[in-house]
């Protein structure tokens, strides 16, 4: 099931790897939607708003986890592309040790900071207690999130996107079953939704780890390869920390935006949450293309094929632009019928619809710039350049901050919704220019290495 992305025409290779990732990402969003749908229909609109008000904090936690673990896997993909089996296994073992330490630290930091963070975000009083209960329970399950992402990233690094898809589908189905059990049968409320997510991720992480240990010898370290290496630790943290902070910076911007949305009350928060879940589901193809380009870039950079990196980026831009326009049309058509899925019959959908339309219709116009961010950001990260993608996150943060603060000052909901498109345009311009700089640097370095090689021989 491993895919060598250094061979074959770029477009078919990229799509072959991307499609399973897209399906898996959509299933992940589906079980996140299942939380909100079941909470909204069986606990109430205020409970849905409570879960939704923590969505940006959830994005911060999961994004940091994905970023740091993806960074740990970059060295794996580069060494795999260079056919260095021992370095691959050592990188796996070193990354596992680092992930244990990071899980403990991140869990502690989240638990002590949640109450003041929710206060800072203007969380409405009528949903504050439920929001705190939900996000605290999620924080306890951070280790499961990190290790599922780590093992999945390792498999993708060697070209295997099918097995992570299987475990993600399994996790999604299990999460829905546990949601119904904890929320409907045991009446655990929003806490039930959080614990269903934690348990589903923990089981999937264990199964994914067992699969690697039993079936993927290329990723199975020996006991001595679990011993931390200063050089490998430096390389993995040098890649992982900027990627994690890139997610954290982006999440900080969305938290500021959520603070602006919260000012308009629980009805606006509930509608914003429901429409946001739908948009997150249908934009997962962009996320999957970004994940693909990280692996594609890592493998081809590892074998020194710069020309193939450039042709892969062109193919990804064509495919993702077509996908973006298609999803924009789909959201325009599906918003009204899908919105009703999130609420019980006693909720007035017509009152929710204007809030949801304002956000969605502003966003879909800017889907093409959004898709380019994932491609440029991840191809640079796959080639080992993490600083400029992180600064792209800073561009997003500044744009969201300016627009969100303006929205809070003038109490303008449309302005608050415009924070996302403003961030996407800023980051698209920055990462596009950065990619051109990075690819030219890689080309110059390749030419210099060729000259030195000829001189030595």
The reported pLDDT for the residue numbered 31 is 67
3-state secondary structure of 356: helix
Asked if pLDDT for residue 2 goes beyond 80, the answer is: no
Q: Per-residue pLDDT averaged across 137-153, rounded?
A: 95
- Give the model's confidence band at 249: pLDDT under 50 very low, under 70 low, under 90 confident, else very high: confident
Give the number of other CB atoms < 10 A from CB of residue 186.
12
- DSSP string for 364-404: HTTHHHHHHHHHHHHHHHHTT--HHHHHHHHHHHHHHHHHH
Q: How far apart are CA 7 and CA 14, in angstroms?
A: 11
**DSSP characters over 216-272:** -GGG---GGGGS--HHHHHHHHHHHHHHHHHHHHHHHHHHHHHHHHHTT-HHHHHHH
Please, where are the H alpha helices in 283-386? 284-302, 306-339, 349-364, 367-382
Q: How far apart are CA 167 and CA 163, in angstroms?
A: 6
Q: How far apart are CA 331 and CA 361, in angstroms?
A: 9
Per-residue model confidence as pLDDT tens digits over 315-337: 999 999 999 999 999 999 989 88
How distant is the alpha carbon of residue 321 from its chain centre? 19
pLDDT for 56: 80
**CA torsion angle 317 318 321 323 (round to 10):** -120
Burial of 180 (0-12, 13-18, 19+ CB in 10 A): middle
| Residue 54, SS3 per DSSP | coil
Q: Based on DSSP, count helices (H) and strands (E) in the chain, helices before strands.
A: 17, 0
The predicted model gives 83-93 an average pLDDT of: 93
Confidence of residue 222 (pLDDT cuts 50, 70, 90): very high
Q: Which residues of 79-89 are buried (b: 16+ CB within 10 A; e: fewer)?
A: bbbeeeeebbb
């Amino acid at each position: 099931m491993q895919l060598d992305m250094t061979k074959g025409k770029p477009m078919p290779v990229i799509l072959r790897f991307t499609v399973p990732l897209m399906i898996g990402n959509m299933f992940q969003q589906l079980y996140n939607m299942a939380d909100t749908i079941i909470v909204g229909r069986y606990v109430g609109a205020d409970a849905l708003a409570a879960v939704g008000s923590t969505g940006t904090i959830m994005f911060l936690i999961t994004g940091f986890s994905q970023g740091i673990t993806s960074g740990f896997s970059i060295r794996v993909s580069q060494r795999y592309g260079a056919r260095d089996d021992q370095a691959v296994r050592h990188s796996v073992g070193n990354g596992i040790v680092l992930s244990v330490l990071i899980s403990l630290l991140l869990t502690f930091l989240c638990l002590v900071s949640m109450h003041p963070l929710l206060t800072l975000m203007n969380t409405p009083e009528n949903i504050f207690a439920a929001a705190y209960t939900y996000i605290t329970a999620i924080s306890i399950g951070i280790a499961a999130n990190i290790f599922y992402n780590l093992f999945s990233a390792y498999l993708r690094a060697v070209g295997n996107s099918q097995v992570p898809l299987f475990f993600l589908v399994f996790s999604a189905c299990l999460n829905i079953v546990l949601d119904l059990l904890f929320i409907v049968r045991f009446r655990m409320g929003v806490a039930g939704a959080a614990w269903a997510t934690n348990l589903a991720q923990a089981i999937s992480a264990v199964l994914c780890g067992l699969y690697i240990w039993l079936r993927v010898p290329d990723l199975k370290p020996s006991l001595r390869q679990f011993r931390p290496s200063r050089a490998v630790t430096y390389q993995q943290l040098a890649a992982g920390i900027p990627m994690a902070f890139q997610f954290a910076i982006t999440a900080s911007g969305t938290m500021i935006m959520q603070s602006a949305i919260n000012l308009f009350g629980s009805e606006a928060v509930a509608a914003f949450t429901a429409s946001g879940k739908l948009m997150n589901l249908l934009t997962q193809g962009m996320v999957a293309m970004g994940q693909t380009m990280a692996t594609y870039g890592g493998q081809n950079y590892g074998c020194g094929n710069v020309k193939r990196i450039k042709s892969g980026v062109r193919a990804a831009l064509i495919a993702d632009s077509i996908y973006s326009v298609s999803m924009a049309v789909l959201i325009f058509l599906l918003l009204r019928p899908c919105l009703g899925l999130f609420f019980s019959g006693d909720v007035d959908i017509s009152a929710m619809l204007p809030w949801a339309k304002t956000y969605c219709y502003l966003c879909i116009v800017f889907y093409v710039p959004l898709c380019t961010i994932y491609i440029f950001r991840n191809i640079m990260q796959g080639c080992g350049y993490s600083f400029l993608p992180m600064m792209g996150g800073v561009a997003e943060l500044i744009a969201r901050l300016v627009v969100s603060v303006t929205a809070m000052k003038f109490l303008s909901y449309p302005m608050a919704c415009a924070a996302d498109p403003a961030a996407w345009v800023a980051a698209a311009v920055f990462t596009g220019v950065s990619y051109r700089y990075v690819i030219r640097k890689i080309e110059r370095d390749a030419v210099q290495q060729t000259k030195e090689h000829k001189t030595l021989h």
